[in-house]
Chains A and B, each alone.
Chain A
Amino acid sequence: MKPLKISIRVSIPIQDGYLYAGNLFVVFKDGTLRTIPINNIIQKRFGSDDEKFNFFNLAFLRNNWFSNDQSKSFFAIPNFEKALSKNWMQNRDDAGIIIDLSENDFSVLHELPTLPIFDIRLFGMRLFVGNRDGLYDSGISVDSNTGKVSSRDSLERVFDGRTTYLNSKTDTLLISSNSEGLFHGNLPEINRRLHVGNNAIRPKSLRTGWSQHNVVNYESQSHFNLLSVEQEHIQERTYMYSSFDEDSKKIKITEIGHNSSDMFDALASHTNLIDNIRFAFNAPKSCYFLLNNGKFVNIFFNKYKENFRLSPRIKDVLQEDSNLLPKSKIISANIIRDGCVLEYEDRVILVQNGQETILEKFPVYSVRTYPTSIRYKNIVSIVDRYGISLYSVYPFK
């Protein structure tokens, strides 16, 4: 089934957006970073007495409840899943639920130093913004009654290399600085600023991905290296993922890139593939390749940490030959729980359980998914010149 869509139209132009801690963080082209609680957005369309208010709140704020361990018991009850699917079907609309907002519906969190921003990331109750001048960091807090965000400290530069892509996991932020290299920062403890290492882990980085055991560093859209990750289990976590966090994993990343392997070695069983890769990206357990011949294939990472080689088995991602995936250049790819979102020049396509759905049919500013988030693993946000669209992906196969 197609995703639910909320289409938020904002009265003045915006450049980017990010979901975190029940809030939408939006970069406005006037140079401000503003926030709004997501349930305030939904309330604009449906009053809190409207039964749809709860359904949309659940779908967009707690989509993980449809697929976590507890949900297995609920959805084992006859007709539970059927009733939810019926609601989904009734509320699903290609155009989406349209909600108009003015800039005054948002609260200003910060004035940004330079536009455009290249990437934005929130984790560990901290905000990170990357642009051509570097990486900026600020702490945030969320009011437990109103859900509103406020800043705990100023937005300060913590890294002065051009910052084009950010990726976080547990206490670590990976900073891609293109030809200046790949850097990593870590949060030493709560309320402290990010500490970024002086030396690049790799000399070039366009973007990164996390696999189960490694960091995947993409030097170009079609070439990567695998970098080892050392982590330790700690007794008490010294920072929080978010104020609503209930996950109890306590992991600290201690070292990245002590060992590494180039794509040629990792794909030693697939030498015929190497010269035909148009675009590569990865999920925690597998790597995806879009090939020059239009094929879209998937290869699993080796399950043993010490072995960098990818599995010799190769699998087609799509059940049938695609009629939606264009032959033109792909710009970005993002992972969701059971699939991915592909951004092309003129469209954005959701690929889930081997099938494709068009999400947008025009060029967009940014496409984001939240694979390391607890709440938003199955949410997609797309920013374009008219505003921001949120998609809640249907949670069942």
Chain B
Amino acid sequence: MPLKTYPRNPDGTYGPTNRNDYYRSKEDHRKNARQSFKHGKQIKTRWCIKESEEYHVFKIANEPYWFCRENNCLFGFIFENGRLLELGENGECLAKFPNDRNELDPWHGYPVFSERDENRPSSDLLDELDEKKIISYEYRIKIERGFI
């Protein structure tokens, strides 16, 4: 499933999805944002895909609702030809869409590694994605161990 691009709405959002949700890309996670480090660790991860493709990743996560209760967020990824597509410029393959917004506000998101608990889909969500064959067993184990 190649990444699709979507047109931006006049107010700068994308969407709606079939759940009637909108998405807004954030400047500080875009490629041209200034890189900031704290103790050698990058504070804000940056997408390596186009702004209009971010919405595609969001839509894929939002419509079947890959929601992680533990972390109060949606997790998205693109799994094609047996591989996870890199979404972030450091090789991040997962996207996190936090639900820290008012109900009618658009969602936003950024690429993450699964190393930290808050950036990893819960075991329950991974069980579900594995059962539905949305992700392969190889990747499921590695995400759960925090290696991807």
Contact = CB atoms under 8 A, between A and B. Distances in A.
Nearest to B130: A116
B147 interface: yes
A365 B142 CA distance: 8
A165 B145 contact: yes
Contact of B138 (A178, A277, A328, A363): A363
Given A179-B117, A363-B139, A385-B137, A223 B40 contact: yes
Interface in A213-230: 220-221, 223
B139 to A, nearest CB: 7
Interface in A293-336: 328-329, 331-332
18 contacts: A15-B137, A164-B145, A164-B146, A165-B145, A179-B117, A206-B146, A223-B41, A278-B90, A292-B90, A328-B91, A329-B86, A329-B91, A329-B93, A362-B82, A363-B83, A363-B138, A363-B139, A385-B138
B40 A221 contact: no
A5 B86 CA distance: 32
B141 A275 contact: no
Contacts of B140: 116
A263 B146 contact: no
A365 B115 contact: no
Contacts, number: 70
Among B82, B83, B115, the one with the most A-chain Cβ atoms within 10 Å of its Cβ is B115
A275 B40 contact: yes
A121 to B, nearest CB: 14
B40 A345 contact: no
Q: Which 3 A-B pairs have the closest CB atoms?
A: A329-B91, A179-B117, A363-B138
Given A221-B115, A331-B147, A363 B82 contact: yes
A364 B40 contact: no
A365 B147 contact: no
Nearest to A271: B40
Interface string A248-291: 00000000000000011000000000110110000000000000
Contacts of A366: 141
Interface of B: 37, 39-41, 82-84, 86, 90-91, 93, 113, 115-117, 123, 136-142, 144-148
Nearest to A362: B82
A220 B113 contact: yes
Given A178-B146, A346-B83, A363-B82, 5 more contacts: A15-B137, A220-B41, A221-B115, A223-B41, A385-B138
A360 to B, nearest CB: 12
Interface residues of A, number: 33
B114 to A, nearest CB: 10
A179 B116 contact: yes
A132 B144 contact: yes
B123 to A, nearest CB: 5
A331 B41 contact: no
Among B82, B140, B141, the one with the most A-chain Cβ atoms within 10 Å of its Cβ is B141
A118 interface: yes
A114 B141 CA distance: 13
A389 to B, nearest CB: 15
Given A263-B40, A329-B91, A346-B83, A221 B138 contact: no
A229 B24 CA distance: 50
A127 B85 CA distance: 36
Given A164-B146, A179-B116, A275 B123 contact: no
